[in-house]
Amino acid sequence: MSDGRLPVRRRWIGWTVGVLLALLVIAIGWVTVRGIGAVNDLQQVAKGATQLKESIASGDLDGAEPIARSIARNAASADDLTSDFVWQAFGVVPLLGPNFRAVSEIADIADDVSTDALAPLLDVASGLDLASLGFSGGAIDLAPFAAIEQPLGTASTALSAAQVQARRIDADATLPPLAEAIGQLRTAVTQAATAVGSLHGAAVLLPTMLGGEGPRNYVLAMQNNAELRSSGGIVGSIALLHAENGRISLQTQASTRDFPPLDTSLPLSESTIALFEDRPGRYLQNITSIPDFAEAGETIAARWTGRFGGTVDGVIAVDAVVAKHLMAVTGDLTFGPFTATPENVTDILLSEIYAAVPDPAVQDEIFAQAAGALFNAALSGGNPKALLGALADSAAEGRIRIWSAHDEEESLLASSALGGTIPKDGPDGTYVGVLMNDSTGGKMDFYTRATIATAIGTCQGSPPRRSA
């Protein structure tokens, strides 16, 4: 007869299942509590990042330090809450696992950035006196750059690593709110990596590029956006800058009339010839049709040396809107019959001058006067911090391009936004460029507005059928 008790084996199975269920409930509760804490920490990191950006922008470095410490504490806490073995175990659960892994990676990125990038950046901000850059009289003190190069390099390396790690998160496998947060993280990290990388590049490059180790000569190509080219606009006027021990001077000014078309084109890449035939190699105005500024800059330098001789160490291309940013700092300027303000300078340079001055030779003369007046105003006065901000805004909008004839410098420039190089397809993505070139010569692009939309789809091999 049975005594009513289950066999020993069945009792052990029941106990085991019960224990496992209990452990699962405990584990779910564990990761839920820690997940709520981690999400709260990451929300505080995001809030602190916004506050920190505002404090640094306003120059309140004393207020920025406690915010940075708070960001570091919250980031470290989030990383700790999502790195234990229970959380990691949930990371391998089908369907739910990618969400756990994503939160863990976000927390890890936040911790690394706050520790390895934020602290060095604050050290740079607190230790650099922008007034010591010495713009007065056209000279820039090169000594401060040596002090900021190493911490900026540390921060740049950390942000670049965070950028790679953020791209590797499988956002498509996560829930929509988390996927959106991952997208925002990628954007923020990419922007920070680009900005800090550019600053680090400047700290490395400026001492030598500004003549700290010997005189340098640069061609300054000023682009006119009223006639569009791939990198901005046609080359409207051109000048030679001389840099020596941080002092910059305007040596020679010229116009496109000094560069008649060549009978034989300068060497061009196969892709450039395929797009534009040999016109960029024959006409100075069309050189900026070349999308890759590494090629365009070298071609501009060749045109200058072919006309004036000498040695060119690099090329700097800017467009007319840079004048607007700089004049917000330097104030109004007078050139030719015009008095320009930050509000009307682009109207004058891109439109009014053509209506008021019909003679192309006189137009060129006024453009040269405008360039000289702006250059002298920028180097002889103005708040150094505001001038740097104006240049940074111009660079962020893609209005400044720099090419160096020195290989090591060009390698650094090419990896930054200032280099204006074309990205190459690779494991991290495929790139598509939209380029605008106006060959009408009508200078009417001042009045145009462009809207560009992108979409991703799959080619089926044949166009869709249309109904009659």
3-state secondary structure the chain: CCCCCCCHHHHHHHHHHHHHHHHHHHHHHHHHHHHHHHHHHHHHHHHHHHHHHHHHHCCCHHHHHHHHHHHHHHHHHHHHHCCCHHHHHHCCCCCCHHHHHHHHHHHHHHHHHHHHHHHHHHHHHHHCCHHHHCCHHHECCCHHHHHHHHHHHHHHHHHHHHHHHHHHCCHHHCCHHHHHHHHHHHHHHHHHHHHHHHHHHHHHHHHHHCCCCCCEEEEEEEEEEEEEECCEEEEEEEEEEEEECCEEEEEEEEEHHHCCCCCCCCCCCHHHHHHHCCHHHHCHHHHHHCCCHHHHHHHHHHHHHHHHCCCCCEEEEEECHHHHHHHHHHCCEEECCEEECCCCHHHHHHHHHHHHCCCHHHHHHHHHHHHHHHHHHHHHCCCHHHHHHHHHHHHHCCCEEEEECCHHHHHHHHCCHHHCCCCCCECCECCCCCCCCCCCCCCCHHHCCCCCCCCCCCCCCCCCCCCC
Split at pLDDT 50, 70, 90, the class of 1 is very low
- In this predicted structure, the answer to whether residue 138 has a pLDDT above a threshold of 70 is no
What rounded mean pLDDT belongs to the chain? 81
Mean local confidence (pLDDT), 49-77: 72
pLDDT for residue 457? 73
Do the bridges between strand 314-319 and strand 400-404 make them parallel or antiparallel, or are there none, so unpaired?
antiparallel
Sequence-distant (6+) residues with CB within 8 A of 128 are: 144, 147, 148
- Which of 23-32, 215-224, 434-443 shows the highest mean pLDDT? 215-224
- In this predicted structure, the answer to whether residue 136 has a pLDDT above a threshold of 60 is no
Mean local confidence (pLDDT), 272-279: 94
- In this predicted structure, the answer to whether residue 134 has a pLDDT above a threshold of 50 is no
Split at pLDDT 50, 70, 90, the class of 309 is very high
| Domains observed in the chain | 18-209 (no CATH), 216-445 (3.40.630)
- In this predicted structure, the answer to whether residue 19 has a pLDDT above a threshold of 80 is no
Tokens of 22: 């209990």
Buried residues in 225-253 as b, exposed as e (16+ CB within 10 A): bbbbbbbbbbbbbbbbbbbeebebebeeb
- % of residues, the chain, pLDDT over 90: 26
pLDDT for residue 417? 79
- In this predicted structure, the answer to whether residue 310 has a pLDDT above a threshold of 90 is yes
Q: How far is CA 133 from CA 121, 206, 247, 436, in A?
A: 18, 12, 11, 38
- In this predicted structure, the answer to whether residue 449 has a pLDDT above a threshold of 90 is no
- The more confident residue out of 26 and 369 is 369
- In this predicted structure, the answer to whether residue 394 has a pLDDT above a threshold of 50 is yes
Name the burial class of residue 200, with classes exposed (0-12), middle (13-18) and buried (19+) by CB atoms within 10 angstroms of its CB: buried
- In this predicted structure, the answer to whether residue 102 has a pLDDT above a threshold of 60 is yes
Name the burial class of residue 102, with classes exposed (0-12), middle (13-18) and buried (19+) by CB atoms within 10 angstroms of its CB: buried
pLDDT for residue 193? 80
- Checking 351-357 for CB contacts under 8 A at 24+ apart, the result is 351/226, 351/443, 351/446, 351/447, 354/226, 354/443
- In this predicted structure, the answer to whether residue 34 has a pLDDT above a threshold of 70 is no
Phi-psi region for residue 422, left (φ > 0), alpha (ψ -120 to 50) or beta?
beta
- In this predicted structure, the answer to whether residue 159 has a pLDDT above a threshold of 70 is yes
Split at pLDDT 50, 70, 90, the class of 41 is confident
- In this predicted structure, the answer to whether residue 98 has a pLDDT above a threshold of 70 is yes
Split at pLDDT 50, 70, 90, the class of 307 is very high
Q: 101-110, 112-121, 288-297, 380-389: which has the minimum mean pLDDT?
A: 380-389
